[in-house]
Structure 1
């Protein structure tokens, strides 16, 4: 657009986000309470000296947001007030482990984002805006500290180490390489909700994440795997033809779909098409048309963007008595910022977030959207998805923070979420919403 993200803004910063996309599935049940479940705060414990963290980069800008707890002496509501830098190396009172936090103590959350990054700064700002929008709606008993970093791994790790000394739970980092560096480090002591999945962790056949880390980033590869399951359920035994270009994110989702298709014992072929300036190569489309006339697959998976898929459909028009169904990911939904007629995509199936597909979704309805003017800018759909990620990240953090050892479902704005934390290895699953283009607009359907 997840990791496209544009081509897709997230794809524009794919090196950091590594395939940020979006999707969602059939609605689930909201299990995480959204009303206050805390009581008045107790007096803080006496400070205990903590080890000085390793080499600190230039001090991070830190913003603290808090809400006064009923009956808590000396507390007042603040927003954007200054506090000592989280990376100043001074000894502070280490927070207790999650399972030892008294129920009447405010939950301290640190939001660690690369707001000073040239490549990920805009994406980080979108996540921050969504996170704080969710906090504004349901902030009783929670304080939020926003600590910004740059791109350097040393910066991220040093700021994370200091944040642990003043927070009960950390949300972040956002960049894939930063999450990977943290997962491989010995720093993790507090519950941490990473906003991406690091390379080599968490996916089928890979190493598990550290026990105190939950990864809930938007993954376009996971979208592709879900699309494969959906297509296989609608077309049992069918063969699939996967179409992509040499663009890295397209190769990734093409591989993810093909691998998932093969796991189900089904036949799949992949064709890589040439492209220049975002347009597919016309002579190759002519060759593809002739090929399908003699060897038609049961369905197509378009590991492409919306404009390329529109071009593909036009080239295949009339090649067969009936065009094979086309499946894809959220990359096929350019949102309100598109500048071409999407009616030509009618019938195309895709996955995306409820935030992008279901304006009447119970959770989507209660949170403010970014200004309308922003939605019309290139790449705005990807920023919307990251904004939605920020909302769900807060909701998941709040639930984990107030309950030690939980497994719950959340009907989130990024999908139906299933979370397990504190009961052995942490696990996270997001089921995205299925949709079919009708009259130029993706319409939600039940797969």
Structure 2
């Protein structure tokens, strides 16, 4: 079932992204700073959206615009480039890729975008939110452009409509939080929610998105913002929170925090509930312990449903070997939690393990190529892809472009998130 449209929200600050450098593809793409270098031999003109579908195998030119010269986003751009080229290597389909390097300056990016348009049929990029905003508000978008982020103000009531030829498909932590709210409401109908966050900007954005969607669904919500000096949750505030939960427990908890802080939260809440049945029973006969009691269902705070986002999954073998998060529900990309997914299995994984954020950008590059290839063959229409970043639905070339990504539900088991059916 398609998700309801996101509620209007205040413009969020620019998202932080992290990535790793990946080994280059077997066949390196052209890197071109100017128009002359952007020219390729097997070029065809761009087909308007109302033309017939381009036959498979017809030459297509794609330009991949990434901030590879940026000090802050260069590594992120390289990770995404590696994923994009890995997908191209597997299914070239007579498609020529030209990689265009940019920096962080808006004018540099606009100039590179304008030059690229003259020599390609379709553009993928830019990556930075500010760069996507600069392109979206310019009159330059005359050919299909797949943006790798969302422009500033996207989804708000007063947002400027995007050019019809632009499709933003970046990973969105706000959209992920809204999907978690939808999932939690389906599993816990009528329940109230308590959101736990800190003052960290990205956590506040997650918390606000969950709260707005939860209220849109007609559910009650409370928000608690904890202090976190040196990224460690305040012990006195955790004690106060535990007392508050005992007096007025919600139907569920939503953590807008990362794995370490959520693990600390859960440990603090559970340690405050010690029942007589939980105390060890020692037999005096022969000085041996009594037979262990049979496992019992979780009680108290341990039984309170706890939801979170992909921020709970550190990935890359970096999850804690302990089980504090067992039973916690989250959403993440199939690339991270569903390694037996058909699409995940067919693409190479980076040799060098990195953090989950790094791996997600690599996966985004794979799906960006798959979406670009589909649009290049069918410039107008609606299609779906079972992608490595989720179930993707795209409507392009028939008015304003629409994109939806539904991520994979998972539950922590033995310290590792395992995919589940929703």
TM-score band w.r.t. shorter chain: 0.7 to 0.9
Match of 1:403 among 357, 367, 378: 378
Equivalent residue, structure 2, for 1:350: 330
TM-score, structure 1 normalization: 0.79
Equivalent residue, structure 1, for 2:367: 392
Q: Does 1:240 align with 2:193?
A: yes
Q: Is the 8 A contact 1:19 1:221 kept in 2?
A: no
Runs of at least 4 residues of structure 1 off by over 6 A?
A: 87-90
Kindly tell me: are residues 277 and 285 of structure 1, through their superposed partners in 2, closer, same or farther at Cα, counting changes over 3 Å?
same
Kindly tell me: are residues 154 and 417 of structure 1, through their superposed partners in 2, closer, same or farther at Cα, counting changes over 3 Å?
same
Post-superposition offset of 1:322: 2.3
Match of 1:108 among 47, 58, 61: 61
Post-superposition offset of 1:202: 4.0
1:166-217 Cα shifts (integer Å, max 9, x gaps): 0100000100111111111111111000001112124677443210000100
SS at match of 1:283: helix
TM-score, structure 2 normalization: 0.83
Match of 2:175 among 207, 222, 226: 222
Q: Is the 8 A contact 1:274 1:284 kept in 2?
A: yes
Q: Does 1:85 align with 2:34?
A: yes
Post-superposition offset of 1:130: 0.2
In structure 1, C-alpha distance between the alignment counterparts of 2:97 and 2:315, rounded to whole Å = 31
In structure 2, C-alpha distance between the alignment counterparts of 1:414 and 1:402, rounded to whole Å = 21
Equivalent residue, structure 2, for 1:281: 234
Q: Is the 8 A contact 1:342 1:441 kept in 2?
A: no
Within 5 A, what are the aligned runs for 1:7-406? 18=15, 79-81=28-30, 85-86=34-35, 95-99=45-49, 103=55, 105-202=58-155, 206-319=159-272, 321-323=299-301, 324-338=304-318, 340-371=320-351, 374-375=352-353, 377=354, 380-406=355-381
In structure 2, C-alpha distance between the alignment counterparts of 1:334 and 1:82, rounded to whole Å = 33
Kindly tell me: are residues 128 and 84 of structure 1, through their superposed partners in 2, closer, same or farther at Cα, counting changes over 3 Å?
closer
Where structure 2 has 5 or more consecutive residues not aligned to the other structure, the ranges are 1-11, 19-24, 274-298
SS at match of 2:324: helix
In structure 2, C-alpha distance between the alignment counterparts of 1:230 and 1:19, rounded to whole Å = 26
1:373-407 Cα shifts (integer Å, max 9, x gaps): x32x5xx2111000000000000000000112120
Post-superposition offset of 1:86: 3.5
Which structure exhibits the higher relative contact order, with contacts defined as CA atoms closer than 8 Å and separated by 6 or more residues?
1
In structure 1, C-alpha distance between the alignment counterparts of 2:232 and 2:414, rounded to whole Å = 24
Post-superposition offset of 1:88: 7.9
Post-superposition offset of 1:87: 8.1
Q: Is the 8 A contact 2:191 2:219 kept in 1?
A: yes
Post-superposition offset of 1:140: 1.8
Larger radius of gyration: 2
In structure 1, C-alpha distance between the alignment counterparts of 2:200 and 2:130, rounded to whole Å = 20
Cα RMSD, aligned residues only: 2.5
Where structure 1 has 5 or more consecutive residues not aligned to the other structure, the ranges are 1-13, 22-64, 66-76
In structure 1, C-alpha distance between the alignment counterparts of 2:420 and 2:221, rounded to whole Å = 25
Kindly tell me: are residues 95 and 163 of structure 1, through their superposed partners in 2, closer, same or farther at Cα, counting changes over 3 Å?
farther
In structure 1, C-alpha distance between the alignment counterparts of 2:79 and 2:31, rounded to whole Å = 22
In structure 2, C-alpha distance between the alignment counterparts of 1:398 and 1:349, rounded to whole Å = 34
1:211-237 Cα shifts (integer Å, max 9, x gaps): 000010000110100000000001111
Q: Is the 8 A contact 1:111 1:170 kept in 2?
A: yes
Q: Is the 8 A contact 1:95 1:164 kept in 2?
A: no
1:228-253 Cα shifts (integer Å, max 9, x gaps): 00000011111100011110000000
In structure 1, C-alpha distance between the alignment counterparts of 2:375 and 2:256, rounded to whole Å = 35
Post-superposition offset of 1:446: 1.3
Post-superposition offset of 1:277: 1.9
SS at match of 1:280: coil
Larger deviation: 321-330 or 284-293? 321-330
1:64-118 Cα shifts (integer Å, max 9, x gaps): x9xxxxxxxxxxx96445667248899x999434445864641100000011111
SS at match of 2:195: strand
